[in-house]
Amino acid sequence: MTTFETLERLEKAEAAAEAAVEAEIAVEAAAEAPGSGTRIPDVVATNAPPNSLRTLSGMSRDDVLTLLGAGASSLCITWLLFGVLTPLSGPLGFVVVAWAIFLVVYGLMVSMTESRPVMVDKVMSAVLATGAVVAFIALASVIIFTLIKGKDALTTWNLYTQDMSETGPADSITQGGIGHAIVGTLIIIGIAIIVTVPLGLTCAVFLTETNNKLTGFVRTVVDAMTALPSILAGLFIFATWILILGFERSGLAAAVAVSIMMLPIIIRSADVVLRLVPGNLREASAALGAPEWRTVWHVVLPTARPGLATAVILGIARGIGETAPVLLTSGFAASMNVDPRSNAMVSLPLATFEFVRSPQPALIARGFATAAVLMVLVLILFAIARILGGRQAGQVSKRQRRRLQARSARDLRRIEGLDGEDFMYVEPPPVAPLSSSAPIPPPPSPPAPEGVS
Amino acid sequence: MAVITVDPGTYLRQGDAPVPRDPDPRSLKTKKERGDRVFHTIALTAGLFVLATMGAVGLFLTIEGTDALRATGVGFLTTSEWQPDRGQFGIAAIMLGTFLIAAVAVSTAMPIAMGTALFITDVAPPRLRSWLVSLVDLMAAVPSVIYGLWGLFFFQAAVLGLSRWLTTWFGWIPIFAVDGADPNNPLANTTVYTASAFIAGIVVAMMVMPIQCSVMREVFSQVPIGEREGAFALGATRWGMIRIVSLPFGRGGIIGGTMLGLGRALGETIAVLLIISPKFDINVRVLEAGGNSVASLIALRYSEASPFGLSALFAAGLVLFIVTLMVNFTASWFVRRSRSGASSEA
């Protein structure tokens, strides 16, 4: 190596070191300084994955008009059939006949202008849409029917504040209430959450972080457990807790039985979410030297947080509606009981079940009100789960991204020793001649890290 | 690619002592640090705990049911009565009832689930798609007691006409026959049609549909994009693409999802208990009033049962447990097979 080359290299290295220091100073002002210092990568929002399904939906005006025309003619023909020509009757029959006629008319209308494959395509699309429409109507009718039937009792205050201990079966709905069932549900589900959330999430972590034959087996068993009939969970706790161990039927027993139903739901949905955490995040963490548990705790779980919350909430929504296990392990109680260790503790679904089994109209009205309260609870839980779970793992909102960037900039300042207002000017380490074997003096040590965050 | 293997011996000059080849290469073992060992132990414990729970359910049902099973032997599977205290009990009728309700539920839910799943993946505009997914998930989250309530007070009245129509026109098929129905009498009482396995089955279908739909949707959404595009490039319409690409690809998911639904339908308790009026005879007339299922029998009888009666109920529960387990394992085998090759790692 010639002297000239060495000199040139030295100059370059010096220039680079200067630039680095300048960049470090610039970091103070703007977190995202370009240059040779540690740089916060720009976050590029990518909405669509590169390989997404092509959407072939969309309708022309012609399509819409054809649909409307077919619908109108089908309604008219059905009305003629039901009202005038034949003695058909019944709302269900009307809908089914109207639908069949609609499909025929629609097919005919499309085939006037289009080829046969297009006609088949359009008619089949309508048939597929029927599935979704039926599901929607069924769900809407369940929700609306429950709310309407429960309306009368729902608007009385005593429903929420009183219990049934001093109310006879024939008393009107202005007396008695389901306060005890609301409290019972909260206690039972509270205990179940304490049991299932740590256990379920740990098991989900086990399923995602280890990969051997046992993992596959556990996953299969969890799958099977999601379909465990709820009555068997109740029967199991009844056999062990009450018959063999000799405890009395109580809210605690019910909570354990409900836990058995919630556990697989939480594990399964958490497992799915955790598997969606990008593998390169795990690898980056491992490359930085983090042990596995730190990777899980600081990278995998925080990345999947919204999805995990969704998993837990879906589990709660399932547990809150379980009737059969509570029926077997706790039983119905008419009065308030806040002690989960002894005596029957009633939950909302069980109260609903007991109320509507009686022939008394007032009790049935209370049953519907109880069901409506339960329904509203489930709807709220579900809405929260949707809002949290609408995002993919690692996808953050604008505010979260700003917060993350600010934290990242803070970390950068801390790590590079520029923390605080009185940052020191650090003498750049003398650049050793490349040929010499003299040890490079260690860079100034940064302040002790305040734990990995 | 040619791999050149060099024997270390070739580099030795003549006369040098031969260097013995290393007999066993150095093994690369990763020794986990203590934190990781603790972490893995805890995770493993949680996994094993779930296994143990499931095992314990089967174990204790067996232990508690042994008395009854020993008393009746094979007769447990063939007797249709349920009078444990007189020694006359078996699951022939209730098991048949369970399967009838499940069959009605699955045959009602399966077409709707498949239509909805295909509609969501292939037909619906993207904005509607996420709403529909939420809708189906919400259907799964609604408590079964609410479906039971709806079935008992609302749906039953609406569907009686359909029951009557089915008997009138298809009564010659044994399944649709109804004892005591008189189609020629327009004023005939409809109570022969109420509380039937048919109505209970349709209500259970509401609970089964979302599970089937979400399994099928997941499989349909994994249809290889290249094959879909290929079908379009060859001039297929959307339905043509679904018929020749999506349906064959998703066959495992369709079968598996349907069976997962069947597993749910077999174990449904409260909705069935609310709707059906218990009956202990062997018949396949689903439209007729009365029927039974194992789960509803347990919920109905456990409180007034003698110790021996309880044991009989546990035995019935054990049979239900084994049947649902078998159905579910088969189902997840089908689903897994259809998913193989689709990696989840991003």
How do residues B9-30 score in pLDDT, each as one tens digit? 555 556 666 666 667 777 777 7
- The radius of gyration of chain B's CA atoms, rounded to the nearest angstrom, is 29
Of A58, A131, A378, the CB nearest to B112: A131
Torsion angles phi and psi, residue B100, rounded to 5:
-65, -50
Interchain CB distance below 8 Å, A236 and B56 = yes
Domain edges within chain A? 61-155, 169-391
How far is the C-alpha of B177 from the C-alpha of B283, rounded, in Å? 10
| B242 interfaces chain A, CB cutoff of 8 Å | yes
pLDDT at residue B102 is higher than 90:
yes
Task: Classify residue A295 by its DSSP letter.
Answer: I
How many angstroms away from the CA of A371 is the closest CA of chain B?
Answer: 6
- Contact A160/A177 with Cβ under 8 angstroms? yes
Interchain CB distance below 8 Å, B317 and A232 = yes
Interchain CB distance below 8 Å, A132 and B49 = no
- Residue A243 CB burial class (10 angstroms; 0-12, 13-18, ≥19): middle
Q: Which two tokens stand for residue B35?
A: 């934190």
> Scanning the structure block, which residue is given the tokens 């009737």?
A323
- Contact B285/B174 with Cβ under 8 angstroms? yes
C-alpha distance from residue B66 to each of A233, B61, B72, B306 (Å): 19, 8, 10, 15
Strand partners, B291: B278
Residue-level pLDDT at B41 = 92
How far is the C-alpha of A79 from the C-alpha of A272, rounded, in Å? 49
Q: Which two tokens stand for residue A322?
A: 């379980």
B317-332 pLDDT per residue, tens: 999 999 999 998 888 8
Q: Does domain A169-391 have CATH number 1.10.3720.10?
A: yes
Nearest chain B alpha carbon to A142 = B150
Residue-level pLDDT at A453 = 38
A28-41 pLDDT per residue, tens: 545 444 445 666 66
How many angstroms away from the CA of A158 is the closest CA of chain B?
Answer: 22
Residues 6+ apart with CB under 8 A from A17: A428, A429, A431
Interchain CB distance below 8 Å, B54 and A51 = no
Q: Tell me which of B117 and A448 has the higher pLDDT.
A: B117
Interchain CB distance below 8 Å, A56 and B225 = no
DSSP for B130-177 reads HHHHHHHHHHHHS-HHHHHHHIIIIIHHHHHHHHHHHHHHHTTSGGG-
Interchain CB distance below 8 Å, B50 and A243 = no
How, if at all, do strands B82-83 and B88-89 pair? antiparallel
Nearest chain A alpha carbon to B151 = A142
Q: Which of A230, A217, A218, A204 is nearest to A301 (CA)?
A: A204
Interchain CB distance below 8 Å, B269 and A135 = no
C-alpha distance from residue B230 to each of B126, B223, B239 (Å): 22, 12, 14
| B46 interfaces chain A, CB cutoff of 8 Å | yes
Residue-level pLDDT at B258 = 92
Q: Which two tokens stand for residue B210?
A: 């979302």
B64-86 pLDDT per residue, tens: 888 888 888 888 888 888 888 88
Interface confidence, given as ipTM, is 0.83
Residue-level pLDDT at A38 = 63
Residue-wise burial string across A111-127, b where 16 or more C-beta atoms lie within 10 A, e elsewhere: eeebeeebbbbbbbbbb
Q: Over pLDDT 90: what percentage of chain B?
A: 33
Task: Note down pLDDT in tens along chain A; length 453 residues.
Answer: 444 555 556 566 566 556 555 555 555 545 444 445 666 666 555 554 445 666 666 678 888 898 999 999 999 998 888 877 766 667 778 888 899 999 999 999 999 888 899 999 999 999 999 989 999 999 999 999 999 988 888 888 888 888 888 877 777 777 888 889 999 999 999 999 999 999 999 999 999 988 888 998 998 899 888 889 999 999 999 989 888 888 888 999 999 999 999 999 999 989 988 988 888 999 999 999 899 999 999 999 988 888 888 889 889 988 998 999 999 998 888 888 888 888 888 999 999 999 988 888 888 888 999 999 999 999 998 888 888 765 555 566 778 788 888 888 888 888 777 655 444 455 556 665 554 444 444 454 444 444 443
| B60 interfaces chain A, CB cutoff of 8 Å | yes
- Contact B161/A89 with Cβ under 8 angstroms? yes
Residue-level pLDDT at B343 = 37
Domains of chain B: 94-294 (1.10.3720.10)
Chain A partners of B320 at a C-beta cutoff of 8 Å?
229, 232
| B63 interfaces chain A, CB cutoff of 8 Å | yes
Torsion angles phi and psi, residue B278, rounded to 5:
-65, 140
How far is the C-alpha of A131 from the C-alpha of B108, rounded, in Å? 11
How many angstroms away from the CA of B20 is the closest CA of chain A?
Answer: 36
Interchain CB distance below 8 Å, B299 and A328 = yes
How far is the C-alpha of B213 from the C-alpha of B117, rounded, in Å? 5
To which H or E segment does residue B83 belong? strand B82-83
Q: Which residues 269-288 in chain A show a CB within 8 A of chain B?
A: 275-279
Q: What confidence tier does B341 reach under pLDDT thresholds 50, 70, 90?
A: very low
A121-161 pLDDT per residue, tens: 999 999 999 989 999 999 999 999 999 988 888 888 888 88
Give the predicted TM-score (pTM) of the model. Answer: 0.80
| A332 interfaces chain B, CB cutoff of 8 Å | no
- Contact A339/A169 with Cβ under 8 angstroms? no
Residue-level pLDDT at A436 = 46
Chain B partners of A291 at a C-beta cutoff of 8 Å?
32-33, 35-36, 39
Of B32, B139, B145, the CB nearest to A371: B145
